[in-house]
Chain A
Amino acid sequence: MRPMTITEKILAKHAGKKSVTPGELINAKVDIALGNDITAPIAIKEFRKIGAKKVFNRNKVVLVPDHFTPNKDIKSAEQCKILREFAHEQKISHYYDGGDAGVEHALLPEQGVVVPGDIVIGADSHTCTYGGLGAFSTGVGSTDLAAAMITGELWFKVPETIKFVFKGKLNKWVTGKDLILHIIGDIGVDGALYRAMEFTGKAIERLSMDSRLSMCNMAIEAGAKSGIIIPDAVTEAYVKPRAERKYKFYTSDPDAEYAQVIEYDCSKIEPKVAFPHLPENTRNISDVGKVRIDQVVIGSCTNGRFEDLEVAAKLLKGKKVSDHVRLIIIPATPKIYSEAMDKGFFKTFMSAGAIISPPTCGPCLGGHMGILAEGEKALTTTNRNFVGRMGHPKSEVYLANPAVAAATAVKGIIAHPDEMVKRKK
């Protein structure tokens, strides 16, 4: 049998085949089909239009109203209502509303809804996040979601894989977010177009699950179909207490074929900042220069997890946010929110002068909860810095990790986290 990558093995298994080859078109069963308050209403419309009566499995369809929630206006409230009524009618078991709702790609791994070895499709481009667990997951559109909700399967073109090898040890303050920004800066926003990205190497093995999820989250920003990390002991420790279903660890064969292998020396990787208006415009934090910032956002499906808030709290303790900066902190799920509160992070954040938002995608896509005016600049831990992404078309978004974000909030200009620590001495 031909040696396969982890991605090929998961696809083959779900297509009922012994092996698959890149380029091959397959129909594969999906374990989870996900939609949100922006994409699911179109899927539900298609579902009804074609005369479908029941979803293929009420436990495998997941609906999370998270983008414009808590409802930002009447129109978004109407969209959420479509989801709510459909979820009740179909008795969807994984429907998260009100105080149960969180940012979907933080929520699903946390709740054990997605497990290693799964195929997950989601009508949201950041569905690729679950590769951090060793699942094949990819973003699709609403019509694809409708088809998967009815049939439980979907067509895929088996992607080629690019392997990224991270050698050596990570420098201080460098996280999964910086590694993925480093890659995107290197290969460009279409550098992995139509392909799967496999992240390997000693540095990846040492990455926490939060960091792995945030790294795979941004595979789409390189144009990739998916990003994946081979599951290991870190995965097992994370998944075991929360998995709702049986899971399976797949791995790549040592002689599997890759379209490309790219190696990086971690000793040369600093915290990164992506300048407007594409995630590929990355610079080392030491090369940023003086950029005055009006707003800092710490949150999103990329960096709104516990570890992200923890590092922000550590750096913000006893500090004040610069008087010309609005710092908005968005714990990504109710659980993260509650844990951050229990750990006393909220007290630190509020003493520093930060705003704490309920879980939502909110400002990341310019929805609500922190929109920028003309000429304003934001440094955020989110994933996209396209023109007008967070508000006015003449505003600017800079992407970075949570430690850089916290330091920037205090300094008022894009700042290295070291600057905060040094001052203490």
Chain B
Amino acid sequence: MKFKGNAWKFGSDIDTDKIIPAVYLTTTDPKELAKNCMEHEDPKFAPNVKKGDVIVADKNFGCGSSREHAPIAIKGCGISCVIAPSFARIFYRNSFNMGLPILECDGIFKVTKPGDTIEVDMDSGTVTNVTRKKSFVASPVPPFMQELVKSGGLMKSIKKRGLV
């Protein structure tokens, strides 16, 4: 799986209230949620984000609540991949379970400026800032999680195992 898109940059400890404020949690529709994604953090994000764009953030991305509306909103915006040095654990789990590609990667945050072109190769875990001509290797996705992604998420994987 390969992605190429423009970078949106966010800082450290981006919490789920920043990703999607609680007041919008009265719907589960990805398109509706996408409209208000990151609205307090960067009001230009939701109206301007393009399909295939990439989020490059600093440590502990997605901390706070367990709301799956957060990865749903990000995916709803058309974001192809989120890259950060570390993720909050519920967000990490949710992303794999519902099929938002995320990568733990050090280094890329420092060299990236908003709008840079980022290329991601999920299979080799290589993250390249094409604009700055710099490449980094992400932490490998555990085989168990890779299987989960290959099965099409947690629900499809339990169906596959005959548990439904």
Interface residues in chain A, defined as those with a beta carbon under 8 Å from any beta carbon in chain B: 25, 38-39, 41-42, 45-46, 49-52, 67-68, 73, 75-76, 78-79, 122-125, 127, 139-144, 146-147, 150-151, 155, 189-190, 193-194, 220, 223, 225, 278, 365-367, 384, 386-389, 393
The docked-state distance in angstroms from the alpha carbon of A38 to that of B158 is: 24
Docked-complex contact A225 and B154, CB < 8 angstroms = no
Docked CA distance A140–B46 (Å): 26
Taking CB atoms, residues of chain B closer than 8 Å to A147 are 97, 154-155, 158
Q: Is B113 an interface residue (CB 8 A)?
A: no
Contact A50–B159 (Cβ < 8 Å): yes
Besides A141-B98, A366-B17, 15 new A-B residue pairs in contact (Cβ under 8 A), listed by A number: A25-B144, A78-B26, A140-B94, A141-B97, A143-B153, A143-B154, A189-B63, A190-B86, A193-B88, A194-B89, A220-B90, A223-B63, A365-B17, A367-B22, A384-B15
**B132: which A residues are within 8 A, CB to CB?**
none
Report the minimal beta-carbon distance from B90 to chain A, rounded to whole angstroms.
5
Closest partner residue, chain B, to A364 (CB atom): B22
What's the Cα separation between A299 and B92 when bound, in Å?
A: 29
**A52, A143, A387 interface centre (most CB from chain B within 10 Å):** A143
Bound CA span A157–B52, Å: 31
In the complex, what distance in Å separates the CA atom of A49 from the CA atom of B152? Answer: 14
For A52, give the chain B residue with the smallest CB separation: B164
CB contacts (< 8 Å) of B97 on chain A: these are 141, 143-144, 147
Contact between chains at B13 and A278 (CB < 8 Å): yes
**How far in angstroms is the closest Cβ of chain A from B91?**
8
The one of B22, B86, B164 in contact with A365, judged by C-beta atoms closer than 8 angstroms, is B22
| Count class of interface residues, chain B | 35 or more
Contact status A367-B64, CB under 8 Å: no
CB contact between B28 and one of A45, A225, A389 (< 8 Å): that residue: A45
Interface check B67, CB cutoff 8 A: yes
Contact B22 A223 (CB under 8 A): no
> B78-90 interface mask toward A, CB cutoff 8 Å, 1 = contact, 0 = none?
0000000010111
Decide if B98 touches A143 in the complex (CB within 8 Å): yes
Residues of A within 8 A of B41 (CB): 387
**B40: CB under 8 A from chain A?**
yes
Q: Give Cα A365–Cα B24 distance, bound, in whole angstroms.
A: 11
CB-CB under 8 A from A50, the residues of chain B are 155-156, 158-159, 164
Say yes or no: B164 contacts A190, CB within 8 Å: no
**CB <8 Å contact, B90 and A387:** no
The reply to whether A384 and B17 contact each other, CB–CB distance below 8 Å, is: yes
A232 to B64 Cα, complex, angstroms? 30
Interchain pairs with CB closer than 8 A, number:
133
Q: Output the least CB separation between A301 and chain B (Å).
A: 12
A147 to B63: give the CA distance in the assembly, Å: 22
Contacts A366-B21, A387-B17 given; does A125 touch B64 at CB 8 Å:
yes
Question: A45 vs B98: C-alpha distance in the bound complex, in angstroms?
Answer: 13
B105 vs chain A, min Cβ distance (A): 16
Cβ–Cβ contact B66 & A124, under 8 A: yes
Chain B residues numbered 40-86 whose CB sits less than 8 Å from any CB in chain A: 40-41, 59-60, 63-69, 72, 86
A16–B15 Cα gap in the complex (Å)? Answer: 36
The answer on a CB contact under 8 Å between B142 and A190 is no
Q: Which residues of B contact A52 (CB under 8 A)?
A: 164
User: In the bound complex, do residue B18 and residue A386 qualify as a contact, i.e. CB atoms below 8 Å apart?
Assistant: yes
Pair B154/A223 contact, Cβ less than 8 Å? no
Pair B65/A365 contact, Cβ less than 8 Å = yes
A39-B68, A150-B164 are known contacts. Are A73 and B90 too (CB-CB below 8 A)? no
Check A387 against B18 for contact (C-beta < 8 Å): yes
Given known contacts A25-B144, A141-B98, A147-B155, A388 and B93 CB-to-CB distance under 8 angstroms: no
Tell whether, in the assembled complex, residue B66 and residue A39 are in contact, meaning their CB atoms are under 8 Å apart: yes
Cβ contact within 8 Å between A146 and B155: yes
Contacts of B15 in A (CB 8 A): 384, 386
Closest CB in chain B relative to A69 CB, distance in Å: 12
Q: A49-B155, A140-B66, A366-B21 are in contact. Are A190 and B26 (CB under 8 A)?
A: no
Collect the chain A residues with CB atoms within 8 Å of residue B89's CB: 193-194, 223, 225
Contact A389 B26 (CB under 8 A): no
**6 closest cross-chain pairs (CB), A and B:** A75-B26, A141-B94, A143-B97, A190-B60, A393-B40, A365-B22
Q: State how many angstroms separate the Cβ of A38 from the closest Cβ of chain B.
A: 5
Are A141 and B90 in contact, CB atoms less than 8 angstroms apart? yes
> Which residue of chain B is the closest to A72 with respect to CB atoms?
B26
Q: Is B60 a contact of A223 with CB atoms below 8 Å?
A: yes
Closest-by-CB residue of B relative to A75 is: B26
Q: Please report the C-alpha to C-alpha distance between residue A140 and residue B65 in the assembled complex, in whole angstroms.
A: 9
Chain A min CB distance to B34 (Å): 15
Residues on the A chain within 8 Å of B23, using CB? 366-367
Q: How far is the CA of A294 from the CA of B80 in the complex (A)?
A: 42
Nearest A residue to B22 via CB reads A365
The interface residues of chain A lying within 8 Å CB-to-CB of B159 are: 50-51
B1 at the A/B interface (Cβ < 8 Å)? no
Asked if B26 contacts A76 (CB within 8 A), the reply is yes
Complex: A302 Cα to B104 Cα, angstroms: 31
